[in-house]
């Protein structure tokens, strides 16, 4: 089984050298099967730009799964708990590192995360692509099983010992999703973005103030628009045609998917300022949709909304 069998989640080469601030551990014999490599407070850890080098070193002994997410990403909210559940069931044979890309741009850039959720494994400091987007629990389990096989082939077979978690500290069970939200999530899991859009639109028809449905709808529409898009080609097209509304909006969508929220808003606001008449309408509508995706209370949204208002009046 090769690394490629785990799925093409990354595009292009991934250079993690900028995140390594410590020398590599000395090379030695491959660890024996299920070798204990130490203990840790938990097999799930929140990782930052400053602590990622520790994860890289740990991956030389035990497989590390990196979950790149953001607070505004609706599919992330569905996928991350599944990944955590499966990782905990591995009983220390896998460590899960969670990364908020908005707060850790260095890691986001190193993995060239063009859309999230993005899940990548680290084996011996090297990235192994797993999957992007929301996937069903069964697929997560299958991919983790394949990861352990690949890790064994590379001699990365250590385990982390974790103390029993006190009952009082047990995570609270997530409340069930509203029926239409669950319908949308199920559609996302099976790759039917249009069905998810229909479910979210129905939820908004029933309750126009359903902010979660609004954000979910914006997220799925974004995923649908950027599906199959090439980041470099889109940026080049936007650079070659500054006045091309479609080209600029696609580039902005890809910026949002990659976590470059300020860049996306600035691009669309500059485009709005340079256009007139009916050409402004789709730009304004796209901005309003993205505002809902990121969240009305986000400072970046408030700043962009203020500028949009000034341009309108």
Q: State how far the Cα of 122 lies from the Cα of 97, in Å rounded to an integer.
A: 10
CA distances from 60 to 29, 129, 157, 198, 233 (A): 12, 17, 9, 45, 36
For the packed helices 211-226 and 245-257, what is the interaxial angle rounded to 10 degrees?
110
Cis amide prior to 306 (ω within 30 degrees): no
Which whole-number Å values give the CA distances from 94 to 65, 147, 159, in the listed order?
7, 9, 7
Residues annotated as catalytic are: 73, 76
Other C-beta atoms lying within 10 Å of the C-beta of residue 47: 23
Query: How far is the first Cα of the chain from the last one, in angstroms, to the nearest whole number?
Result: 60
Q: Which residues contact 55 (CB under 8 A, 6 or more apart)?
A: 45, 47, 64, 66, 95, 97, 122
Closest-CA residue to 39 (of 160, 165, 166, 164): 160
Angle between helices 179-189 and 193-206 (to 10 degrees): 170
Query: Residue 244 — φ and ψ, nearest 5°?
Result: -80, 110
Residue count of the chain: 313
For residues 108 and 119, give the distance between their C-alpha atoms in angstroms, rounded to a whole number.
12
Burial of 219 (0-12, 13-18, 19+ CB in 10 A): buried
């Amino acid at each position: 089984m090769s690394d490629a069998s785990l799925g093409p989640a990354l595009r292009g080469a991934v250079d993690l050298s900028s995140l390594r601030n410590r020398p590599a551990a000395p090379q030695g014999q491959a660890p024996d099967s299920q070798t204990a490599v130490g203990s840790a407070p938990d097999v799930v850890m929140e990782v930052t730009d400053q602590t990622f080098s520790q994860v890289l070193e740990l991956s030389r002994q035990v497989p590390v799964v990196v979950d790149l997410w953001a607070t505004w990403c609706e599919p992330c909210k569905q996928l991350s708990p599944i990944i955590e559940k499966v990782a905990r069931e591995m009983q220390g044979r896998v460590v899960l590192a969670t990364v908020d890309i908005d707060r850790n741009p260095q890691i986001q850039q190193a993995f060239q995360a063009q859309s999230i959720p993005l899940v990548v494994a680290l084996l011996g400091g090297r990235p192994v692509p797993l999957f992007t987007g929301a996937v069903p629990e069964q697929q997560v389990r299958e991919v983790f099983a394949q990861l352990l096989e690949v890790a064994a082939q590379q001699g990365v077979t250590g385990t982390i010992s974790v103390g029993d978690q006190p009952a009082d500290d047990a995570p609270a069970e997530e409340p069930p999703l509203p029926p239409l939200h669950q319908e949308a999530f199920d559609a996302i899991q099976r790759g039917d973005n249009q069905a998810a859009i229909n479910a979210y639109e129905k939820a908004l028809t029933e309750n126009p103030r359903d902010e979660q449905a609004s954000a979910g709808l914006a997220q799925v529409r974004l995923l649908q628009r950027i599906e199959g898009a090439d980041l470099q080609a889109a940026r080049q097209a936007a650079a070659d045609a500054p006045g091309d509304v479609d080209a600029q909006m696609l580039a902005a969508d890809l910026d949002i998917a990659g976590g470059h929220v300020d860049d996306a808003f600035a691009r669309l606001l500059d485009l709005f300022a340079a256009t007139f008449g009916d050409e402004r309408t789709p730009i304004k509508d796209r901005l309003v949709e993205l505002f809902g995706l990121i969240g009305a209370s986000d400072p970046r949204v408030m700043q962009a909304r203020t500028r949009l208002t000034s341009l309108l009046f």
